[in-house]
Structure 1
C-alpha cells in the first residue's frame, strides 16, 4: 500500500540521450508498469548518435509519458576530471532534490559517476554494462586501464547486469552483491522471424530501387555511429581491395567521422559504390535489401545492429571476442573475424560471404533475444532490486 501512496523513484542514467532512446524505453515502461516514478538523467544537448532534433522530440515524448527528465552534462568516452566532477555534482543534486530511491546506470562513464553518486548518497544502484572495455584476448592496455576501474566500482554496486556471456563470467569475479545475465537489451525477434517471404521480397525490391541497387549487385550494409569503434573504414578499404564494381555498400548512421570517411571513399575512387545514408529511423527495409551485414566493431557488448540483421535473414561478418559470439554461433549465420582492422581478413570474409546464404532453420535459438523474454527478466530484476519482491 505504501508504494501506491509514495512510489519508489528510480533514476535511469546514461551519458547520452541516444542510449536511453535506443536501449531503455522498454525499461522505462516496465518500471512504470510496476508503479514506479521514473526519472531520466542524461545529456540531451549532446545526444550521441541521434540528431539534436530527434533528442528534443525524444525528451518531449518522455515528458508526455510523465517521465521527469534531467539534463546532465556528461562527456562521451572517459570525459575529463573537471567535466566529470560537474556531472557528479549534477547527479547528486538530482538524487537529493527528487528523493531518488534507486538508480539504473548505463555506459562506462555513466556507471562510474552513477556509482560514485550512489555511494555518496547511500542510494541503491544497479549497473548494466553494454560491454566491458576489456575482454578475453583483448589488448593488455585495456585490461590495465579499465579492469581495475570496473573492479573498484563493483564494490559500490548492488547488482551488475551483463548482456553477453563473456562479460557475465567476468562479472562473477567482481565485488557486486549480485550478477545477472540477460541476452541483450531486447529486440523484435519474433516479429522478424514471422515476417513472410513475400513481404521481405517486396520491401527488398522497393528499398533497392530507392538506393539504385541492381538485382545483380551485391549490397553490404553497416548500421552504427560513424566513430572509431564501429570501424567502417576497414570495410571501405576491404571493398577497395576486392576491386569488384558489383559490390555496393551503404552505412546508416551519423557521427564525427563522416568527413573522414567521405574523404577516404573519394580517395579510393569508390563514390559510385559507397553511400553514407545518415540517420535512419526505419532499418527494416535496409536489412531486407542487403546481402551482407558488415558489423566489425572493435568492441561490442552484443551488437544490436548485428543481431537485428541476423534476425532478418542477413548473413553477417562480426568480430570474435565480442558479444556477437552469442548469436553468430556457426557459419550458417555468419563469419567471426579475429582482427577487425585487418583489411585482408575482412576482404577475405566478404569474398567468402558472397557465396553463402542464411540457413533459416538455424535461427530458432534467437527467440531468447526477443523483448518478450528480456522484458520478463528485467521485470524480475527490478522487482527484486528496487521493490524487494
Structure 2
C-alpha cells in the first residue's frame, strides 16, 4: 500500500497555481496524494478555473477533501471548525508528512500535524512582514511565524530576503531557499525571433493596437496589492503628445477594474487602456509588449515578472523582495519604488526613447523548472 501525503492550503487557488508539479513529483515517488483546501470559497481564480482544477485532481487520482477555511486569518469559530475537519481527516488517513501553504492553512495544518506527530514542510510564499511592510504586518505576522517555526520540520522560502530573515530568526529544523515553482527557462531560450514576431502581430491585431505603438503590459490580479493604479498615475503625468502612441493592457481579474477604468478615462486614456481579464497566453502578451510593468507592493517572488524577463521583455519592477532578485538594473529591467509615480514615468519615457531588443538570459537558469523540481524531488525523497 502506497504511503499517503497531504497537500494543504486555505484556498484552492494556492494548490492550483503552485502545486501541480509537486503533486506529480510525489505521485512519481509512489505517494498517494491528498489535497485539503476550500474548493467552494476557492480564492483568486475564476469559477471556470476552479472547476478545471477539480477535474484535474479527479483525472490524476488526487484525493480531494473540502475544508471550510475562511478568508484571511479567519474567525475563532471558523478556525475551530476547520481544525475539527482536519482532525477528522488525520484520524482516517495516516499521512507520512504534510506540505502546507498560505498563512492560515499553514498555521491550522501545523497545529493538527503536531497533535498527530506528522512531519511538516511549510512553503512560505512570501512572509507578510518584509522591508517596506506596515508595522501592523510585523506586529501580527512576525510573532505567528516565529512561534509556529518551532513546530516546522522544513521551512521553504522563495526569495533572498525571506531566506536571510528565516535563517536569523526562525527555528524550523531545516530552512531552504527554492525559487518558487520555477519558470520554463529552457522553453524560453528555444523560442525564435520569428515566433515572437508572429505572436506580437497576432496579439496586437486581436486588441486593435497599432504595430508601431509603444505597448506596456501588466499581469496580475486587479487589486490594491498589485498596484496597477500607479502605472496610470505615471502615464497621466506624461504630456499628451508623448503618450498618444502609448497603450497599456492588464491581464487579470479583480475588484479594481472599475476604478482603473475610471482613472484611465479621467485623462482621456480610456481608448488606449484595455483590461483583458484572465488570459492563458501570457508569453504571447509578453512578446507583443515593449515593456512589462510589475509595480506590486508585495510579492513572494513574482512569477509574472519572472516570466517577462525570461521572455526577453524589459521589466520595470518594484524594489520589493522577490522581484528585485531577478532584475539586473539596466540590463533586463529597471527597479522603482512602487509608490513613486514620477520615477515610474521617467522609466517609461527612458524606454520609449531607447528600445533595445532583449533576449532571455542564461543566468536565470537557477529559476528554471528543472532546477526547482530537482530540489523538490530531493526533499520529498528524503522523507520516504
> What does residue 315 of structure 2 align with?
316
Q: Does the 8 Å CA contact 2:312/2:360 hold for their aligned counterparts?
A: no
> What does residue 197 of structure 2 align with?
201
Q: TM-score, normalised by structure 1?
A: 0.93
Structure 1 CA distance for aligned equivalents of residues 133 and 324 of structure 2: 14
Match of 2:381 among 372, 380, 383: 383
Please report how far the alpha carbon of residue 345 of structure 1 lies from its aligned counterpart in structure 2 after TM superposition. Answer: 2.4
Structure 2 CA distance for aligned equivalents of residues 376 and 46 of structure 1: 33
For the residue of structure 1 that corresponds to 2:353, the secondary structure is: coil
Structure 1 CA distance for aligned equivalents of residues 9 and 48 of structure 2: 19
Structure 2 CA distance for aligned equivalents of residues 258 and 94 of structure 1: 39
In 2 relative to 1, CA 94–245 (structure 1 residues): closer, same or farther, beyond 3 Å?
farther
Match of 1:68 among 63, 66, 69: 63
Structure 2 CA distance for aligned equivalents of residues 190 and 348 of structure 1: 33
Structure 2 CA distance for aligned equivalents of residues 234 and 35 of structure 1: 48
> What does residue 88 of structure 1 align with?
83
Q: Does the 8 Å CA contact 1:17/1:43 hold for their aligned counterparts?
A: yes
In 2 relative to 1, CA 259–78 (structure 1 residues): closer, same or farther, beyond 3 Å?
farther
Please report how far the alpha carbon of residue 166 of structure 1 lies from its aligned counterpart in structure 2 after TM superposition. Answer: 1.2
For the residue of structure 1 that corresponds to 2:254, the secondary structure is: coil
> What does residue 77 of structure 1 align with?
72
In 2 relative to 1, CA 269–360 (structure 1 residues): closer, same or farther, beyond 3 Å?
closer
In 2 relative to 1, CA 120–261 (structure 1 residues): closer, same or farther, beyond 3 Å?
farther
In 2 relative to 1, CA 361–249 (structure 1 residues): closer, same or farther, beyond 3 Å?
closer
Structure 2 CA distance for aligned equivalents of residues 120 and 297 of structure 1: 38
Note the 1:25-36 alignment, pairs <5 A: 25-36=20-31
In 2 relative to 1, CA 203–276 (structure 1 residues): closer, same or farther, beyond 3 Å?
same
Match of 1:225 among 215, 221, 224: 221
Structure 2 CA distance for aligned equivalents of residues 116 and 245 of structure 1: 56
For the residue of structure 1 that corresponds to 2:275, the secondary structure is: strand
Structure 2 CA distance for aligned equivalents of residues 281 and 361 of structure 1: 22
The answer on 1:129 being equivalent to 2:128 is no
Note the 1:1-389 alignment, pairs <5 A: 5=1, 7-173=2-168, 174-242=170-238, 243=240, 244-338=243-337, 340-357=338-355, 360=358, 363-384=361-382, 386-387=383-384
Q: Does the 8 Å CA contact 2:218/2:250 hold for their aligned counterparts?
A: yes
In 2 relative to 1, CA 83–256 (structure 1 residues): closer, same or farther, beyond 3 Å?
farther
CA offsets per residue over residues 176-213 of structure 1, 9 Å max, x none? 00001112211211101111111111111111111111
Please report how far the alpha carbon of residue 159 of structure 1 lies from its aligned counterpart in structure 2 after TM superposition. Answer: 0.7
Please report how far the alpha carbon of residue 310 of structure 1 lies from its aligned counterpart in structure 2 after TM superposition. Answer: 0.6
Please report how far the alpha carbon of residue 347 of structure 1 lies from its aligned counterpart in structure 2 after TM superposition. Answer: 1.8
Q: Does the 8 Å CA contact 2:10/2:102 hold for their aligned counterparts?
A: yes
Q: Does the 8 Å CA contact 2:310/2:360 hold for their aligned counterparts?
A: no
Q: Does the 8 Å CA contact 2:4/2:94 hold for their aligned counterparts?
A: yes
Please report how far the alpha carbon of residue 358 of structure 1 lies from its aligned counterpart in structure 2 after TM superposition. Answer: 5.8
For the residue of structure 2 that corresponds to 1:204, the secondary structure is: helix
For the residue of structure 2 that corresponds to 1:30, the secondary structure is: helix
